Amino acid sequence: MQLENSVALVTGAASGIGETTAKTLAAKGARIALVDRDEEQIERVMQDILAAGGQCVAIAADVTSEEDTARFVARTVETFGQLNIAVSCAGIIRDGTMLNLDRETGKVSRKLSLDKWNSVIDVNLTGTFLTLRDAAEAMVNGGWDGLLVPISSVNKIGQVGQLNYSATKAALERFPKIIVGEFLLRKIRHIRCVGIAPGYTETKILTEMNQDALQAILKDVHLGRLIKPQEIADMIAYCAQNEALNATTIEITGGLCFPGNIAK
Ligand SMILES: NC(=O)c1ccc[n+]([C@@H]2O[C@H](COP(=O)([O-])OP(=O)(O)OC[C@H]3O[C@@H](n4cnc5c(N)ncnc54)[C@H](O)[C@@H]3O)[C@@H](O)[C@H]2O)c1
């Protein structure tokens, strides 16, 4: 797919990976719909893109709302006449172990709340489902070439303290195979789906993570540093351009390994 004159919708575009992806695609000639619930920050990103000579529209929306996902897809098509790329970057973490024990009694003192569980499932999993479903609907009905990009995570492997988050990212990792399988069945040949599973990336979501755990994990990263959002954004742009990439989730982790776990 040519990025020049394509139309890309990016959720979570007010910050981090979504912001950098939106700016990168805009710099390569795509017209961009910026979606985020943070109105002030998507306005800022929009001004940056316009100042750099790009074309974009900012749409404040909550990806967990079915009315909102239908609205932002419709607004994108009304504004730019088509939709080719949908990148679902909106995501949150609400970490905590399933059970907390009282140090003295050894009995359970606190459980992971249903609220923490539901909020992560709603944004990461349901929000991505609604975003990609409605984007795909527009692409099929419009007959436009398309790419759907769910964002998984290296923590799909199962991070302790992230039962909710890891569950969503493990599920999202499977989206490309299932969605493209369905497209094959329905003879929809013009839309691809490629997932991205980033490793630990320098964005504000990491500041909410347990910092001791983060430092411990970084020791296992061959690259020896956090990944830059630009490195993820460049991969997403490449996925759009290389039509052989399809029905898979690509890990971009800087070489996260677990040498301590090697069987001896
Ligand atoms: N940063 C990392 O290390 C890392 C690693 C792996 C995967 N990821 C994933 O990449 C994606 C982007 O993460 P990031 O690091 O850029 O985070 P970030 O916190 O910088 O950005 C996330 C954006 O999503 C928006 N958002 C949250 N809930 C929303 C909702 N209900 N509706 C609309 N917008 C909403 C936030 O306002 C924010 O602008 C997430 O799905 C995250 O899980 C991040």
Tens-place pLDDT, residues 147-182: 999 999 999 999 899 999 999 999 999 999 999 999
Residues spanned by the domain of 97 = 7-201+228-257
Q: Are the beta carbons of 55 and 27 closer than 8 angstroms?
A: no
For a pLDDT cut of 90, what percent of the chain falls above it? 89
Of 9, 15, 42, 200, which is best to mutate to test ligand 1, by the most ligand atoms within 8 angstroms of its C-beta?
15
* Rounded Cα distance, 129 and 91, in Å: 12
Give the number of residues written for the chain: 264
Residue 211 lies in a domain: no
Judge whether 53 lies within some domain: yes
Tally of domains within the chain: 1
pLDDT at residue number 104? 96
- Mean of pLDDT values over 207-217: 79
Digit-coded pLDDT (tens) for 88-107: 999 999 999 999 999 999 99
Helix-helix angle 16-27:39-51, to 10 degrees:
20
Domain with residue 97: its CATH number is 3.40.50.720
Output the ligand 1 site: residues, CB below 6 A.
11-12, 14-18, 36-38, 62-64, 89-92, 123-124, 127, 151, 153, 198, 200-201, 203-206
Which residues are identified as catalytic?
165
Residue for token digits 């070439």?
Answer: 145
Alpha helical stretches, state H, the chain: 16-27, 39-51, 66-80, 114-120, 127-142, 163-185, 211-218, 229-241
In the predicted structure, residue 264 carries a pLDDT above the cut 60: no
CA distances to 13, 73, 75, 151, 168 from 78, rounded to whole Å, are: 19, 9, 5, 26, 31
In a domain, residue 195? The reply is yes
Q: pLDDT tens digits, residue range 213-232?
A: 788 878 899 999 999 999 99
